[in-house]
Amino acid sequence: MRLPKKYVLKVMRVGCEPDFINMQCAAIRMLNGKNLCTPEIIPTVSGADFASVNDEEGNLRLVWVIKAKSGVCYSKIYPRPIDFIYDLGKKIGGLNKALKEFDHPYLDRDFKWNLMESNWITDYLYLITDNDRKDILIEIIEEYNSVLHKAKKLPQFAIHNDLNDYNILATSDISEGVKVSGIIDFGDMIRSPHICELAISCAYIALDQENPIKTIADLVGSYHTKNPLTELDLDLLFIFLKMRLAVSVVNSTMMSKENPDDAYITISQAPAWRFLDQKFDANMVLAKLRLACGFEVIKNANRILDYLHKNRGSFANIFQSSIEHAPMVDLSISGTALPQNPFDLRLDEAAKIGSDINADYWLGFWGEPRLIYTSQAFRSGKYNNSNRRSVHLGIDIFTNSGHKISAPLEGIVKTVENRKFHLDYGGVVILEHNNNHGDKFYSLYGHLNPSVLKKLSVGQIIEKGEIFCELGNENNNGGWAPHLHLQLSLSLECMNSNWPGVSDPDELNFWGKLCPNPASLLNLDDDKTGYKKIDKKIIQDERKSNFGGNLKLSYKNPLMFVRGWKHYLFDQMGRTYLDAYNNVPHVGHSHPRIQRIATKQLQQLNTNTRYLHPILNEFSKVILDTMPDKLSVCYFVNSGSEANELALRLARTATNGQDIITPDHGYHGNTNAAVEVSAYKFNKPNGIGCKPWVHIVDVADDYRGEFRRSDPNRASKYANLVDRALSQIKLREGKLAGFISETFPSVGGQIIPPSGYLSKVYEKIHTAGGICIADEVQTGLGRLGSFFYGFEQQNVLPDVVVLGKPIGNGHPIGVVVTTKEIAKKFDNGIEFFSTFGGSTLSCAIGVEVMKIIHDEKLQKNAFLRGESLFEGLLNLQLQHPIIGDVRGFGLFVGVELIVDNNLTPATEIAAYIVNRMREKRILIGVEGPADNILKIRPPLTIDDNDIDCIISALDECLNEVKTFTS
Ligand code: PMP
């Protein structure tokens, strides 16, 4: 009989003892109904758990059947979202809790995978030929043996004992996320302390994780909620985890000796070695595990904090007099524009911090996110958006160089050094202190005069109030304005030799606990010196209540940005994002030349077009210089919408017509007339619908539309659709005003119409007496690389060109350019005036943007980077069939995602990818009528390293998607 697929027939080895199955079946049955994703046993017809059958060689075998679980094994699941790890931790905790009630004599058999009896591997260490690796194993075994007696005193229960990545199943679904679906194979069950279960599961779950310790801590923390752990459990966990991996590599080395031709055995060791080769700081791991379970970061942390709190006010004044009234100064990312370049704090900037503050002493916050830490030592990863340490872990006290520093309480010198690197500490001293209970804690004094090295030596006792060092200056303190960096640490062990003074915001939960606010040592309140974080939730809630619901936020988990630079954005905690989406900051966010020109103009004058000013003319000249000769008259307004509004008025005044022909899915702005010609808006559910004077033609999408790339006449065929629109106008006895289109439709899906399309359309419109409007808001000003404007690629001469977004680089400017004839007809005696359009400030900024595009050769950069981007995307297309089409010019790029050969749009997947890219700190968008086209449209400053970053992140996301689709 063939069993249906959803069952598993387990055929035991010859000689298998019935108790082996009895034990598993009894445990599994006990776990049934507890929502732990454990298997279900299918009894034999006579109701037994297993049966005996003869195999083809006549050997008696025990066989049994379980219901198969859905899902794939853990090792195939990527990414492993935090919710999944929590789910798993809870399941394992629940399993151990439930198995406390279980007992079976077979649990006490001898077993080489009993982690409590793992010393047998010592006898096989000779098989490990790499001496460095052998040393690693020896160290692990020694550590294990030093704590085994403690583990032996722990209560022992039945445990699964083999929660490796093949015995955990999960389902992964784009909308449901990743969920544990099975905990299988109870064949290794034994009696053991719970800590062994956790050590084994953590050992496998952490392998090849980007941040293995975080994964372990997340798993342990969630386990703890179901089956509480003790401090002793945590002390042992990492040691046992490493021992399990040691057993695993020794065992597989033994197997590979027996089966020298089986390359797989050696390959399968690799992840375990990759883990063991990383020398994790065991103290730090323990501290993180403790925090994950809600314990103090180190033992007695609260006792130290209590002591510091109780003695607040009675410590000796570090500066010999009170600094109680010293002002706090905000050096946070949102509180200062320093440094101008968040990747490179200039020497003069570092040396001048606070030079405008008029006080004897002023203080910088503990816990404050800052962008001033720009040297490579503060950054990790190969891209500019990789992790970066930004959050200050001390308090700064700015005052004169040479100021003497006294010890707040008695201490022993632990370290005295001169750290000479740029933006490092210069002279630095660490003192060890003791509270009344004998707990040790440490204070650090940075940016000292390095002469301290001559005066102090390690082990020296410093009395309370004793002057032991003095502040350095910018020449010897790491390059900073004179100040003391005072930091507290509850442990020296986790700090290793680096003594980080600044934390990655994503690690702040740990570092903030280990290095708490040192205000007490200054006799100040924590409240005064602790930075109050911008609370994203409050900002989001306020926004929700103060604005209309259709003021949308991007991303499932919205972002808050407080700084920008070139093609990077920085959130409120200093995390760097690569902006591959925003086209408004055309020449880059916060361009220094724009900052300067805007400041200068605001200092001088900002008024309107009713007065003469050279800059107004200059702005018109720099724009007209980029246009064909016939386009020789400018109008300045405040936005793309307003510019299109004016363009429509020009067309209507010049023709006396009202009717407009426009491609489907177009967008031209948020004003009444602009919405009327924007099918992207009016055709949405609850939209205003198509007005009788508006006539839609199919967008010339030759990938998905009616006429495709295989058709050589597709340009004409799409253009001919205009004839139908013209007949409709006749039919309703209307009069054509003109044709408006985004030269390359953007919200419609980054469409590049086939060559010759627009020239044929324009010809028809002109013949019918209409005006052709080219909306270049998205495509203009060099973004396309090979062309300054999209209409050049289509080889047409529009009658009206509309510019917006990038022309002001963030300042609201819209521009309409037209012919003398049209302008003359519009000049009908009624004044054209836009209060802010063409203001002195706008014109100064607009001129500067145009000059920067030229001076920094940004059109050429768009071309070159566009080439790399395209190449990278086409390579991805070869590996990922979900990429149906890659199209665009320069840095105006669309990547169309499809599910199958019928071009079914991969809408959900596109949304997933955009959100995952956001988690990887890259901003891209999604567009198109079915929201399945990834839109990549960065500021023109982007460089090849960033393109590489986009491509590799996109590749990772597309690989993730394969786990959903396969
Ligand atoms: N035209 C096009 C092609 C646009 O993309 C936009 C804005 N996305 C507009 C006009 C309207 O510009 P604004 O939002 O500045 O009014």
pLDDT tens string 678-706: 999 999 999 999 999 999 999 999 999 99
The Cα diameter of the chain in Å comes to: 108
CA 41 – CA 23 distance, rounded (Å): 13
CB-CB neighbours of 764 under 10 Å:
19
Q: Is the confidence at residue 720, as pLDDT, over 70?
A: yes
State what percent of residues in the chain have pLDDT above 90: 91
Q: Which of these ranges, 165-179, 460-474, 661-675, has the smallest mean pLDDT?
A: 165-179
CB-CB neighbours of 360 under 10 Å:
13
Quick check: CB of 808 below 6 Å from ligand 1? no
C-alpha 686 to ligand 1 mean position (Å): 21
Which of 583, 636, 648, 667 for mutating ligand 1's site (highest number of atoms within 8 Å of CB)? 667
Residue whose C-alpha is closest to residue 81's, from 965, 966, 964: 964
pLDDT at 965: 56
**Average pLDDT score over residue span 878-898:** 98
C-alpha 667 to ligand 1 mean position (Å): 7
723 to 215, 660, 751, 757, 775: CA distances (angstroms): 62, 13, 22, 13, 21
CA 461 – CA 452 distance, rounded (Å): 14
C-alpha 572 to ligand 1 mean position (Å): 28
Quick check: CB of 743 below 6 Å from ligand 1? no
CA 599 – CA 845 distance, rounded (Å): 10
Q: Atom 7, ligand 1: which residue's CA is nearest?
A: 669
* Cβ-contact 146, 276 below 8 angstroms: no
Residue, of 619 and 208, whose pLDDT is higher: 619
CA 181 – CA 71 distance, rounded (Å): 6
C-alpha 590 to ligand 1 mean position (Å): 21
Q: Is the confidence at residue 309, as pLDDT, over 70?
A: yes
C-alpha 811 to ligand 1 mean position (Å): 14
**Average pLDDT score over residue span 100-112:** 94
* Cβ-contact 207, 274 below 8 angstroms: yes
Q: Which of these ranges, 489-503, 608-622, 777-791, has the smallest mean pLDDT?
A: 489-503
C-alpha 231 to ligand 1 mean position (Å): 59
Confidence of residue 2 (pLDDT cuts 50, 70, 90): very low
Q: What is the dihedral of CA 899, 901, 905, 909, to 10 degrees?
A: 20
Which of 805, 813, 927, 937 for mutating ligand 1's site (highest number of atoms within 8 Å of CB)? 805
Q: Is the confidence at residue 717, as pLDDT, over 80?
A: yes
Helix (H) or strand (E) holding 895: strand 892-897
C-alpha 566 to ligand 1 mean position (Å): 22
Looking from the CA of residue 644, the nearest atom of ligand 1 is 10
Q: Which two tokens stand for residue 729?
A: 């106008």
Which of 778, 800, 807 for mutating ligand 1's site (highest number of atoms within 8 Å of CB)? 778
CA 605 – CA 842 distance, rounded (Å): 11
CA 951 – CA 945 distance, rounded (Å): 10
Q: Is the confidence at residue 1, as pLDDT, over 50?
A: no
Is the N-terminal amide bond of 79 cis, ω within 30° of 0? yes
| pLDDT tens-place string over residues 582-591 | 999 999 999 9
Q: Which two tokens stand for residue 372?
A: 């001033």
Q: Is the confidence at residue 966, as pLDDT, over 70?
A: no
C-alpha 495 to ligand 1 mean position (Å): 52
For 490-551, strand residue ranges (E) read 502-503
Quick check: CB of 927 below 6 Å from ligand 1? no
C-alpha 668 to ligand 1 mean position (Å): 5
| pLDDT tens-place string over residues 818-853 | 999 999 999 999 999 999 999 999 999 999 999 999
Quick check: CB of 678 below 6 Å from ligand 1? no
pLDDT at 5: 66
Quick check: CB of 80 below 6 Å from ligand 1? no
C-alpha 801 to ligand 1 mean position (Å): 13
For 27-131, strand residue ranges (E) read 40-42, 51-54, 60-67, 72-73
Q: Which two tokens stand for residue 326?
A: 């010293």
**Average pLDDT score over residue span 203-221:** 94
Q: Which two tokens stand for residue 658?
A: 């009202």
Residues 6+ apart with CB under 8 A from 153: none
Mean pLDDT, all residues of the chain: 96
DSSP type of residue 369 = B
C-alpha 775 to ligand 1 mean position (Å): 9
Q: What is the dihedral of CA 915, 916, 922, 927, to 10 degrees?
A: -40
Confidence of residue 916 (pLDDT cuts 50, 70, 90): very high
Confidence of residue 578 (pLDDT cuts 50, 70, 90): very high
Q: Give the 3-state secondary structure percentages of the chain, helix then strand then coil, rounded to 5.
A: 40, 20, 40
Quick check: CB of 778 below 6 Å from ligand 1? yes
Q: Is the confidence at residue 544, as pLDDT, over 90?
A: yes
Residues 6+ apart with CB under 8 A from 580: 567, 922, 923, 924, 936, 937, 938, 942, 946, 950
| pLDDT tens-place string over residues 289-305 | 999 999 999 999 999 99
Q: Is the confidence at residue 3, as pLDDT, over 60?
A: no
Quick check: CB of 812 below 6 Å from ligand 1? no
**Average pLDDT score over residue span 77-104:** 94
114 to 200, 635, 780: CA distances (angstroms): 10, 82, 69
Quick check: CB of 71 below 6 Å from ligand 1? no
pLDDT at 688: 97
Residue whose C-alpha is closest to residue 370's, from 350, 346, 342, 341: 342
Looking from the CA of residue 642, the nearest atom of ligand 1 is 16
Write down the pTM of the prediction. 0.95
Start-to-end CA distance of the chain, whole Å, equals 30
Q: How many residues does the chain have?
A: 966
